A and B are shown apart, each in its own frame.
Chain A
Amino acid sequence: MNGVHDLGGMDGLGPVIAEQNEPVFHDEWEKRMMGMFVSCFAGGHYNVDEFRHAIERMDPAHYLETSYYEHWLTSLETLLTEKGVVTQAELDERKKHIAMEES
């Protein structure tokens, strides 16, 4: 797929900035993301290639604007809804609940 993920050879994206003493996770939710990825993988919901492809299928603007673990989250949502493990309505409901808790 000739998608936006295939960045090799592209100009104008600026320098690659290496973070000094980069932590494994930048936020609590990223830890949970790692946990969900590993448990859903072990649960047989996808293989690594399906997971990568679901990242490539992200909306191009969303892909460029979001972090590594947000790519993971989007891929997980895509695959779990496509495979019928969760419904979009369930995801939306849960997100509403989390937003209410935070407000």
Chain B
Amino acid sequence: MPLLTTDIVPGLLSTGASARIDEDIAAKFSIGDAVEIRNIHPVHHTRLPRYVRGKKGTVDRDHGVFAFPDTSAHGNGETPQHVYSVKFSFQELWGEDHSDNMFLYIDMFDDYMRATS
């Protein structure tokens, strides 16, 4: 069994045990792409909050490749894929009463999204 040694502690604490994966995986989306978040309700672990499901946004940044929590939490492999910062308007998420110059950015995995117009 691996042991915790003093040399690995600073890295663990400073990265928060990052799930970043150093693999060259093709991105399904590009910056500026219009995307729709899949309306799924998995019974397993997911990092997809309810309030963005079925909503439309725009890919703002590509963070690179990370382990996919939905499979990684259940011993089903890391399923490496891109994570993006996706921009949503408050009006899309919280309704028409909000002003049109407010936006929320949230990190989304490839498998949470589909292309839209």
Contact = CB atoms under 8 A, between A and B. Distances in A.
Contact of B19 (A1, A38, A42, A48): A48
A47 B17 CA distance: 9
Contacts of B45: 1, 49-50, 52-53, 56
Given A8-B49, A49-B67, A49-B69, A42 B44 contact: no
Contact of B46 (A1, A38, A41, A47): A1
Interface string A28-62: 00000000001101111001111011001000000
Nearest to A44: B2
Question: Looking at chain B's contact residues, is the secondary structure mostly helix, strand, loop, or mixed?
Answer: loop
A1 B43 contact: yes
Interface of A: 1-2, 6, 8-9, 38-39, 41-44, 47-50, 52-53, 56
Interface of B: 1-5, 8-9, 12-13, 16-17, 19, 41-46, 49-51, 67, 69, 72-75, 93-94
